Structure 1
Amino acid sequence: MKHARSGIGKIQKATGAGSLFSAHPSRADTFTESVIREMTRLALAHNAINLAQGFPDFPCPGELKIAASEAVRNDHNQYAITWGAKNLRDALSVRVKKFNGMDFDPETEITVTCGSTEAMMASMLAIIRPGDEVIVPEPFYENYGPDAEISGAVPKYVPLAGDFSIDEEAWKKAVTRKTRAIILNTPNNPTGKIFTKSELSFIRDLCVENNLVALTDEIYEHIVYDGKKHISLGLLDGMEDRTVTIGSFSKTYSVTGWRVGYALAGEELTARIRKIHDFLTVGAPAPLQQAAVAALALPDSYYHGLAEEYDRKRHILFDGLKKAGFSCELPDGAYYIFTDIASFGKNDVEFARHLVEKIGVAAVPGSSFYHKGGETKLRFTFSKKDETLHDACTRLEKLS
């Protein structure tokens, strides 16, 4: 799989022709490690500023730290209910109704998972049969291809248009009698694209007409700019029972290491997801589930402030990248800038290595977000302190 083959720092260990592993191949042989996480290790090795992996270098809200500490002290240290502590599922039901406009029964339609990563994997394993096809729009977050293959599916990569809009004819042609699901990520990683109501309606019609399930990764739902609005696909008529809406506390509350996410779906889909989740991870960390309840109690002003903070950071990095010679546009959502590096005369892997080793800034090679292509792209994150971004921009000036 091309999207997982940066070759930046990895040297694959050769296995002899008669070895146990060459004689017994596995699903793991079809993809490599995460390129994004590999870039973090290279950033550490070269003392570079890490604008590759999307985690903040600033603290989470103080209320969450207090709640997590109190949960540990109050002995929330044993298994929670497998599909999530009741008070967290209740709070999620209220929050999702208020923000997304969707009704989910906390007893039968909400599953708390070990991050959105497990939510997507458990959902795919619950829905996919070996040989099914899954439509994956590209560019895409690098996990989706391996997720499909691990579940036994065949990923069908459908390129977005040049402006990252949906090419309806390409999507229609991609659907076959084997197609089972569509993956959608909005706001999108790596592009920052927010899919419009019209585009979501097209996907809805495609799903209904072909009896497909939509798996929607919406973890950046509160990080949107310039008056744009996030719309959940599951809110559209006809999608209530054929959508799994995936969310996480990681990005909204700056706790990427907590690994608390969730999957929202109708009762029939949820019953399947919960069985997979139970045997996959048993449950998310019990004390951090209690802290997540405190996160959901934050006032609306928190979410407005979050978007304003990231809007400022967005402009800091954008201005620095443009000054350094990168071709890019301001994203509509999420906290990444997807750049074109054709003018620098190197492919994405070569240029990413040059940046981390010689300039002291780590970014993600664009080809990790494509099945085929992306060699003229790099992704940078601005989920960092202002001073970190200013420092990175100063280093990048060496390129101009």
Structure 2
Amino acid sequence: MSKLPNISTSIFSVMSQLSVEYQAINLSQGFPNFPVDDRLIQITAKLVHEDVHQYTPMAGFPPLLKKIADLTQKQYNRTVNPITEILVTAGATQGIFTAIQAITKTGDEVIVLDPSYDSYEPSILLSQGVPVRIPLNDDYTVNWKAVHQACSSKTRMIIINNPHNPTGRIFTQTDIEELENILEQNPNILLLSDEVYEYITFEQKHISANTRKKILSRSIIASSFGKSFHITGWKVGYLIAPENLMHEIKKVHQFLVFSVNSLSQAAISQYLDVVDLDQIASFYQKKRDYFRRLLAPSRFKLLPCEGSYFQVVSYAAISDENDVDFCKRLVSEFGVAAIPNSTFCANGKDLKLIRFCFAKTDETLEAATKRLITL
């Protein structure tokens, strides 16, 4: 008997396979197709010949843990203990899975805001928890009244994703205060804040849970070097959590992966000495603005993109098809792969919205939009 009977093949796998089948331009899956920073390549090449090929300590490569603590202090003015409050993970997805397994028990409810990253629900189900999926409003703002009403004595955790995938929205000050009010009224609920796109924000920075003193003692924060440094295949992320929560998370982590790739950790540790993370946002803002200009002549309506490297568009002026069928036809007839937003929602609500990834070379974006403006 399946432990995940209602979980099918990921939409990302489906669209990427169709992209290969039709030799389409893949703007569906969220990975960059431009070169990695040459400085990181050189650091890695040098380290290959050094003694960094055995297990690191379970929690992470000590110099990297210290660099993460320094980074957190610099970016968020938060002091964290590198030994007891940080865990290097095999990508943020593994970190999120591990945190949910460690914290959620049989029958515990976990609130998820839809549309949501597709790993959240399986992680909850495998911990014998109960996902409570609450749709965002049609403009992708949060219905905090619905979140508040969903909280009960069974609620163990609320998961947020800020900046948000797939919508590209970021939480406002009011959103954060509403969240804090809910947590204050429900002292047994923990927060899992997925902030993997934290360095990819545009007109304004996202408000990190790292900066909210009211809820720090109840927050687990997930970050991703893969997203920040466009090295998604390296699968290196990290969690920050108070010591009492991290103690439980590490119990699961040690039997899941024990320790993360040693060469990658050593390379990232040294790279943090030379890279300017503040330049990441401006790099991707240029990508976003260029892609939006290229799409402007089309019949697609562009929704706001405040963070992440995803652009949501409405195709309502082009077709009445549901979003899954439209994306399949977009691949087969026009040679561009996108992701249908309804697949991120438990209720499958179809708003005629699809998601493009603009973390691509200018040449790729130009080639894709030449096809898209013909619709």
Q: How far apart are the structure 2 equivalents of 1:398 and 1:191?
A: 24
Q: How does 1:270-289 map to 2 (within 5 A)?
A: 270-289=246-265
Structure 1 residue ranges, 4+ long, deviating more than 4 angstroms after superposition:
none
2:189 is the counterpart of 1:212: yes
Look up the match of 1:314.
288
Q: How far apart are the structure 1 equivalents of 2:210 and 2:373?
A: 44
2:323 is the counterpart of 1:355: no
Q: Is the 8 A contact 1:320 1:396 kept in 2?
A: no
Look up the match of 2:90.
114
Look up the match of 1:158.
134
2:176 is the counterpart of 1:200: yes
Q: How far apart are the structure 1 equivalents of 2:323 and 2:142?
A: 25
2:353 is the counterpart of 1:388: no
Look up the match of 1:366.
341
Q: How far apart are the structure 1 equivalents of 2:280 and 2:209?
A: 23
Q: How far apart are the structure 2 equivalents of 1:397 and 1:235?
A: 42
Q: After superposing the two structures, state which structure 1 stretch, 368-377 or 259-268, moved more.
A: 368-377
Give the counterpart letter for 2:299 in structure 1. G
TM-score (norm 2): 0.96
Q: After superposing the two structures, state which structure 1 stretch, 138-147 or 351-360, moved more.
A: 138-147
The two structures, once aligned, show a CA RMSD in angstroms of 1.4
**How many Å apart are 1:109 and its aligned residue?**
0.7
Match of 1:111, SS? strand
Q: Is the 8 A contact 1:253 1:295 kept in 2?
A: no
Q: How far apart are the structure 2 equivalents of 1:165 and 1:397?
A: 29
Q: How far apart are the structure 2 equivalents of 1:331 and 1:125?
A: 32
Give the counterpart letter for 2:74 in structure 1. K
Match of 1:247, SS? strand
Q: How far apart are the structure 2 equivalents of 1:162 and 1:101?
A: 35
User: 2:199 pairs with 190, 200, 222, which one?
Assistant: 222
**How many Å apart are 1:187 and its aligned residue?**
0.6
Q: How far apart are the structure 2 equivalents of 1:149 and 1:288?
A: 31
**How many Å apart are 1:145 and its aligned residue?**
1.7
2:46 is the counterpart of 1:84: no
**How many Å apart are 1:104 and its aligned residue?**
1.2
2:371 is the counterpart of 1:398: no
2:146 is the counterpart of 1:182: no
2:302 is the counterpart of 1:325: no
Look up the match of 1:4.
none
Q: After superposing the two structures, state which structure 1 stretch, 98-107 or 81-90, moved more.
A: 98-107
- Gaps in structure 1 of 5+ consecutive residues: 1-24
Q: Is the 8 A contact 2:76 2:210 kept in 1?
A: no
Q: How far apart are the structure 1 equivalents of 2:112 and 2:90?
A: 23
Look up the match of 1:303.
277
Q: After superposing the two structures, state which structure 1 stretch, 318-327 or 180-189, moved more.
A: 318-327
Look up the match of 1:102.
78
**How many Å apart are 1:237 and its aligned residue?**
2.5
Q: How far apart are the structure 1 equivalents of 2:312 and 2:358?
A: 11
- Gaps in structure 2 of 5+ consecutive residues: none
**How many Å apart are 1:373 and its aligned residue?**
3.0
Q: Is the 8 A contact 1:234 1:244 kept in 2?
A: no
Look up the match of 2:234.
258
**How many Å apart are 1:40 and its aligned residue?**
1.5
Q: Is the 8 A contact 2:25 2:335 kept in 1?
A: yes
TM-score (norm 1): 0.90
Give the counterpart letter for 2:184 in structure 1. V
Q: Is the 8 A contact 2:169 2:304 kept in 1?
A: no
Give the counterpart letter for 2:287 in structure 1. K
Q: How far apart are the structure 2 equivalents of 1:67 and 1:273?
A: 31
Look up the match of 1:60.
36
**How many Å apart are 1:74 and its aligned residue?**
0.5
Q: After superposing the two structures, state which structure 1 stretch, 121-130 or 330-339, moved more.
A: 330-339
Q: How far apart are the structure 1 equivalents of 2:268 and 2:295?
A: 35
Look up the match of 1:19.
none
